[in-house]
Each structure stands twice: as structure tokens, then as C-alpha cells.
Amino acid sequence: MHSPIEEIKARLDIVEFIQTYVRLQKSGMNFRANCPFHAEKTPSFFVSPSRQIWHCFGGCGEGGDIFKFVMKIEGLDFPEALRLLAQRAGVVLKREDPAIRSERNRLYDVCEEAAKLFEKSMSLTPEAKRYLEKRGLAPATARVFRIGFAPKSWDFLVKNLGARGFSREEIEKAGLAIRSDDRSSWYDRFRGRIMFPITDANARVIGFGGRILEAGGENPEAGGRKREAGTQHQETEVHPQASRVEAKYINTPQTLIYDKSRVLYGFDKAKQEIRAHDRVVVVEGYMDCVMSHQAGVANTIAVSGTALTPEQLKVLRRLSHTMVSSFDTDAAGESATKRSLALAGQFEFERRVVHIPSGKDPADTVEENPQAWQNAVAQARPVTEFYFEKAFRAYDPATVEGKSSISKMLLPLLAAIANEIEKSHWVGRLAEKLVIPQEAVWEELRKEESVSRAAPSPRAGEGPKGSRIKTRRELLEDRFLTLVSMVAPEVRTSAMRDREIAFTSPFGGELFSAFKTGDIPREGSPLHAEWASLQFKAEVVRTLVDDPVVEFGVCLREFEKECVRERLARLSAEIGEKEREQDASAVGSLLQDFRMLSEKLKMLS
């Protein structure tokens, strides 16, 4: 009988899975992309469909199977990755297995059950259904996005989730309940609201956004009739905050599974279309996103009234080179749009802006005319061109004040352009339209760029938490073993004579011995997995180097130099220790070894 791990690997294709995170392109027998775990401009991340493994040939040198990929990209431990992939593959894991239990998994279960309760509540609440109909939302679209309703009951969710085996502490940790001031009871965070489940890239519910329903409305199953007997008075007495004016929208707070700086509403439904069109449409609100999908623009995602973050942009950049932005035309929406577009420029997106009529948002536009929204997205204009026209319409370029206002509006956008040729074009255009020397524009732009550089770079430390760049020693050892597998035995034997090398990786020495003897490791053993990985790396390297024998010689020399440097560092530490112990004989012997190795390093250099 196959283990769950083997069954998952048999059912899921690694290329198709990684495609949901990274835009892969065919490269011979394999697929390649920019590595999602470190910043790079030349693609060095390869995926092998035949071996079902991946590897980065660039700065981080990471690699592994589908489990290793999802653990790194999602920041999960193995039990969490096992559960996620099992759901994707349709493999049933035993509930009692302690390997699949974790606090995160428990919170996923809480949120999923809450989403089901909200969906059922929507079906039982005519006022909520009428609101969606009024907004032009089709029932089929509401079902796809799992839009629900939180009854106007103090503890509807706490009671129902409790009946399903979840503790009140777990419900609170999922961001769905709030503990009373005296710490003796819990009440629902969301009450009397249209509920938008927020999902991660794998369609798991991780949080909620709730829009208040002005019309109110009670779910017959929520205990609404009981509250008429005086519960409302009790709410005001025990929880004075109940009488405060409620916000139009509230969201799940930060939890173990919900990080608002990383989540993108609708991403799980949009990611395939984003990759297929090489374009992502960014809107501001949940309804804007849902209605855009309903209108056929399925590569749409939403942020919740804030500018995009570097973490969100990293995710989108893996799948697309073009970003189309459309935010509400009020002051807050305009400000968020400009901040998002400026930051997107640093990630080298081609940036475009959708123009929609004043006072409208995407949801309004779709409700009135879906085709108008499709046309607006298709005709989105380059961001610099859009803001140039906007600035020169708003201010008079003939006056000193107008020139100053126009430059203040446009210089941050020009500073964010990564391509120097494009930047130079727009500097010339701005100077021409303001009738001033180009040097004056460049001078102000340099000031703007110096301010930008003072802020932390969004690309610094790119990659999931815990990711690190491999040392040069580690990369050389990995490269050397790959090249060993590519050259003839006689080349290896001749080149390796009297070499000063040592392996630090767990299987390095064993793999090298296997290549020397020609003994292929037993299938199913950890060493065989490493062996197969080397075969894949060799496959890729053959497409990247002109002469493997020459490359082997260069790599061997550099690898040996690193090994000699390490030995010299160790000898230096030993000499210091023996000097402190006043062991003159040992010091003399160690110094002789140190001099010999120093001479060897000179010859290698």
C-alpha cells in the first residue's frame, strides 16, 4: 500500500502545482523561471517534469520535491504541507494521525466551518439576499465567492462553532470572537454583516471581511426571537462598546493564518488567469473584485483600502509582468493607487491605470454595463502617460506655482521607473512641457531618488521567512558534484589527483564515492534521491555551459581554494590555542602545515 506522501506525489504534477505560484517557461526538457526565493533578473529556477523536482541554480541553491517547495513558499512545517497537498490531491488523511494536527490546521478548520455557517445564514436571510440582488450580484457568483451573512446575534457563531467541537479560545484565535472585558465570556466579532470569506492561494479560508447590512435582518436559526425578550439590554450593559457607531467594513485581525500584508482577495480564483494573460487587475474592494469576475475580467484581485505591500507584489510578480490598477476616485483611493504604482515600479511591473467615470467604482460600472468595464480594462493606459495628462489638466504649466505642483505630482512616479531609457524619455517630456532645462528636472529627480533610497528596499531579504542564501562554499560543492556526474571517469581521475577537497553536505562524500565506483545508490534511499537530483542538475547545466570539461576544471580549482581557506582558518585557530597552552612543539608543527597550505593557495590563485 502506498503511503499518503507517495500517493500525493503520484496524483499531483509538480509543474502544474508550481505554475500556480510562478510563471514557468519551457526550456528544453524542463521549465524555468526567476527564483521565487531570492531576487534575480536572469531565470535560474528550474523544474523537472520527468523527475518531479525543482532546483535553483542561482544565489540560494535551494531545491527539492513538491513538499519542499510548498513548505518554503507558504512558510509551512511538514504536517501543514502534507495536509495542504493532500487536499489538493484528494488524498484522505486519517484525522487521528498526530502528524497532521497543528494549531494552524485547527484555525483553518474553524474558518471553514464559519464560512459554511455564514453561507447557510445567507440562504435564510431575505434582506441579505435582496442587498446582493440590488448590487447586481448574480447568485452563481455569490456561490463561487462563498458570500454569506453573519446574523445580528450576539453569539450565533460562538454557539454554533462550539457545538461543532471548537473551543471559544480557538474561535477567538481565528479572529471570529472577542472576549468580554471581564474575561468571562465571548461574543461574535461579525454581527449583521454581509460576509466575504478571504482565502489563501490554495482556496483555504483564512479570514473574513464583513460589510454592515443597514437593513438588519435576523436569521430564524440564530436565536433572534429570544433576544427580543431583553438580550439587547444585556448586550449594552455587559458590553458598552455595542452602542458605538459600527464601521461600514471590518476585517479579521492578524492571526496565525491571516496576515493582511500578504493576503490578496480573490487571488486563488484569479491566479490562473493572471498567468495566462500576463496581467493582473488590482481593485480596492471586495465587491469590486467579485463584480469584475462576474463581468468576465477574471484576472482581478483586491486589496482592502490600502496600498499594495512588497510581500503582495512579490507574489504577483511571479505570475505577471503587467499591473492594471483601478481604485476608487476619492482622495484615499487616489493616494493608495499612487503608492501602489510607485512601489510596483521598483518591482519592474509594466504599470497601467484604468480610467472610469468620476464617482464610480468598478462594481458600479459592472452593475450598469459589464462591457464598459471590460473596455476600460482593455484600454488601460501606461501610468506615466495617465498621470502626465492628469497633472497638466489640473495645473497651469505657465505659472511658477503650476510648474511646482506638476513636478511634485510626477517626480515620485519618474523616480520609481527602473528602466533608465524610459526614465530619460519622460524627463525630456516633462522638461519640454514645462519649458525648463532638462538638467533642472534631473536635479530634482536625483533629490527624489535619494529620499526613495533612504527607505528600506522592498526587495531586500526577498523570500519566505527562514529562507537564506547559500554560502559560496556550499554552492561550489553542489556545482562540483553536478559537474562530476557530467565528465568521463578518466577526466575525473586525472583532475582529482592530490587535490585538497572535503565535503560538508550530508551526502557529498557518499555521492562522490558512488561516482568514482559507478555504484548507483539503491532506489528509495535518501542517497538515491540526492543522486536523482544531481542528474536533473546535470541535465540543466548541459544547456547552460559550452564545455563541461572546462567548467569542471574551473569549478574544481575554486572548490579546492575554498577548502584550503577553511583548513587555514582551522589551523590558525589551533595555533592560537596551542600558543595559549605554551606547547611549542605543536605550534611548530602546525605552523609548518600552515605555510605549506598557504603556498598551495597561492598556486591555486
- Three-state DSSP at 154 gives coil
Task: Check if the beta carbon of residue 351 is closer than 8 Å to that of residue 323.
Answer: yes
At residue 224, the pLDDT reads 38
Q: Give dist(CA 257, CA 103) in Å, integer.
A: 10
Q: Give dist(CA 411, CA 73) in Å, integer.
A: 35
- CATH 3.90.980.10: does it fit domain 104-251? yes
> Whose CA is closest to 360, among 280, 291, 269, 306?
291
At residue 101, the pLDDT reads 63
Task: Check if the beta carbon of residue 213 is closer than 8 Å to that of residue 249.
Answer: no
At residue 95, the pLDDT reads 62
At residue 99, the pLDDT reads 55
At residue 527, the pLDDT reads 84
Q: Which residues contact 349 (CB under 8 A, 6 or more apart)?
A: 313, 316, 317, 320, 321, 322, 323
At residue 60, the pLDDT reads 83
User: Model confidence over 265-288: pLDDT tens digits?
Assistant: 999 999 989 988 999 999 988 999
Regions of the chain with pLDDT less than 50: 1, 96, 215-243, 454-467
Distance from chain centroid for Cα 189: 28
Q: Give dist(CA 19, CA 220) in Å, integer.
A: 45
Q: Give dist(CA 169, CA 64) in Å, integer.
A: 37
At residue 144, the pLDDT reads 97
Classify the phi-psi angles of 591: left when phi > 0, otherwise alpha if psi is within -120 to 50, otherwise beta.
alpha
- DSSP state string for 55-77: EE-SSS--EE-HHHHHHHHHT--
At residue 97, the pLDDT reads 55
| 4-100: CATH topology | DNA Primase; Chain A (3.90.580)
CB neighbourhood size of 510 (10 A): 16
> Whose CA is closest to 115, among 146, 92, 87, 141?
146
- CATH 3.40.50: does it fit domain 387-453? no
Put simply, whether the predicted model's pTM sits higher than 0.85 gets the answer no
- CATH 3.40.1360.10: does it fit domain 267-379? yes
Distances (CA, A) of 24 to 201, 534, 566: 17, 21, 38
At residue 327, the pLDDT reads 63
Class of residue 442 by CB neighbours under 10 A (exposed 0-12, middle 13-18, buried 19+): middle
